[in-house]
Amino acid sequence: MLIFLLYGNHIIDEADLIVPHPRMLERAFVLIPLNDIASDVVEPNSNEKIREFSAYRRFG
């Protein structure tokens, strides 16, 4: 299975594809590595930078 977390600032909601991944912001195993490689990327549903979510998950 292939899972897309983000595709730029696009929001896709198709029957067989949802981007950004709907539960990525709930999962430290996604946020921490994503923060390491793309901390300034904005999650399009929330309009927040990845580093903001990662900090909350690490220390919240």
The pLDDT tens digits of the residues spanning 27-56 come to 888 888 888 998 999 999 999 999 888 766
Q: Examine residue 28 and state whether it is found in any structural domain, yes or no.
A: yes
Kindly report the pTM of this predicted structure.
Answer: 0.74
Question: Is the CA virtual torsion 52, 33, 4, 28 positive or negative?
Answer: negative
- Using one digit for the tens of pLDDT, what is the confidence trace for 7-35? 888 999 999 989 998 888 888 888 888 88
- Domain count across the chain: 1
Q: Examine residue 2 and state whether it is found in any structural domain, yes or no.
A: no
Distance CA 15, CA 17 (A): 6
Q: Which structural domain, as residue segments, surrounds residue 27?
A: 12-59
Buried b (16+ CB within 10 A) or exposed e, 31-58: beebbeeeeebebeeeeebbeebbeebe
Q: Examine residue 6 and state whether it is found in any structural domain, yes or no.
A: no
Place of tokens 């909350």: 56
Pairing between β-strand 17-19 and β-strand 42-43 as defined by DSSP bridges: unpaired
